[in-house]
Amino acid sequence: MINENGKYEIEIVDFTDKGCGIGRLDGLAVFVEGAVPKDRVIVEITKLKKNYAQAKLVDIIEKSPLRVEPACEIAGICGGCQIMHVGYESQLDIKSESVRQTLKRIGGVDESLVNEIIGMENPYGYRNKAQFPVGVQNGEAALGFYKKGSHEIVPCSKCSIQHDINEKITAIVKEYINENSIEVYDERFHKGNMRHVVTKIGFTTGEIMVVLVTKAAARLKGVEKLVDMLKNEIPGLRTVVQNINPDKTNRILGFKNKTIHGDGIINDYIGELKFNISPLSFFQVNPVQTKVLYGKALEYAQLEGEETVFDIYSGIGTISLFLSQKAKKVIGVEIVEDAVRDAAENAKLNGIENAEFYAGKAEEVIPNLYKQGIRADVAVVDPPRKGCDERVLSVLSSMQAKRIVYVSCNPATLARDAKYLEENGYTVENVQPVDMFPHTMHTEVVCSFKRV
């Protein structure tokens, strides 16, 4: 008999897709935050349901060999890296296996088609974008990260998955806020001003953007001093922007920007391609693995130079521009109009003339293109977590695209869509997971489908 608040000894046998340990008690699945497969632990049941229980980790009796000392002072406290306490090689094994099992269970995909995940040589300092909430602690400004499951700020001067330069930038902004008595935003009362500090770094160019997110539109008091301090101490500083977010919202950035220093953008490269990055534009956060991911997508597309390629869910056109170098023509489709504008500008910036972009819902634009007689020989899809709209897959199958390359950030919806495609004239050829987010449970996957 299992009781709520009762203490039990269990062995952890698996991980959930959020990095929570799973054990079994008389056949009941018990979810234990902070536990790792192969741990023997004492847990206290905090929630008992018919089909599962949640439990608190009380003690580790036998440590799993997968455990390591996390390389971060706030690991386990901040909500960022769920599995930094697992060795990197083991993280990779867990992710490969998780993709295999998900694709098999939901999509009926043969496990042998799933390659081992491509990991990073150095899985630290990989992020090119950081977002630090600003709060007050002990009467002083505090910049850090949100505590897991809350909006309480955990001060942190050094985050090991971010670029080292952030340590200096946050220290300078903190000093500026304190010395100039800048009001800090308090989301409970929607009062105060300074909300977040966002940094973007071009890993290839070394260019840096600092974005100060404020509630009010007025220029920040003494901000010239801050710019001077940043210019003196941050090599590569290209621009400082004030972003205005007057709303009572969890969304970090508002829609208006005022450039305080420089020209409001930075540039970076993925491979040979150059991109303009503005405060609001989406850019993949791990540039090293992005190149690997797009390289795989291009390889799986098997282009010979004569194809019309659809890049569906194209964002700022990064994949489209990669593909355009090997295709006759690329058509990108994206719902966010600003992103479509960025995509067209990025094409120009790189002298690419065979890529065009349509703004709109893919599930409406793709059927319209088909009605006009425009067809894809090859299609690349890179949908958000909820996967592809079935209307998109249905039209791709009607137009008999000879190959579909699916870039996914959610193996479960990829598996669902793989099942649909397998039932509608396609077969899975190759599945390649890529580790874009070391120390978290997120996995990106490239999967190629061939017309049968």
Ligand X SMILES: C[S@@+](CC[C@H](N)C(=O)[O-])C[C@H]1O[C@@H](n2cnc3c(N)ncnc32)[C@H](O)[C@@H]1O
Interacting residue ranges for ligand X, rule: CB under 6 A: 282, 284, 313-315, 318-319, 333-336, 339, 361-363, 382-384, 409
Distances (CA, A) of 328 to 84, 155, 343, 345, 378: 44, 51, 18, 19, 11
Q: How far is residue 323's CA from residue 409's CA, in Å, rounded to a whole number?
A: 20
Residues 398 and 255: their CA atoms lie apart, in Å, by: 39
Compare residues 159 and 381 and give the one whose CB is closer to ligand X: 381
Measured from the Cβ of residue 337, the count of other Cβ atoms closer than 10 Å reads: 10
Q: How far is the CB of 371 from ligand X (least distance, A)?
A: 17
Continuous segment of H or E residues that includes residue 175: helix 165-179
CB of 430 to ligand X, least distance (A): 19
- Annotated binding residue 334: yes
CB of 316 to ligand X, least distance (A): 6
54 is in an annotated binding site: no
State yes or no: 382 annotated in a binding site: yes
Q: Are 320 and 332 in contact (CB under 8 A)?
A: yes
Strands 403-408, 378-381: pairing is parallel
Residue 150: Cβ within 10 Å count: 9
Give the active site residue among 72, 388, 409, 447: 409
Which is nearer to ligand X, 406 or 449 (by Cβ)? 406
With respect to ligand X, which residue has the nearer C-beta, 155 or 383? 383
- CA torsion 419→424→427→431, rounded to 10°? -40
Residue nearest to ligand X (CB): 315
* 93 marked ligand binding residue: no
Q: Which of 192, 411 has the CB closer to ligand X?
A: 411
The answer to whether 310 touches 267, Cβ cutoff 8 Å, is no
Asked about 409 being catalytic, the answer comes back as yes
**Residue 376 tokens, joined:** 């894809």
The least CB distance from residue 335 to ligand X, in Å, is: 4
Feature table: binding site: 284, 313, 334, 382
Feature table: binding site for S-adenosyl-L-methionine: 284, 313, 334, 382
Residues annotated as part of the active site? 409
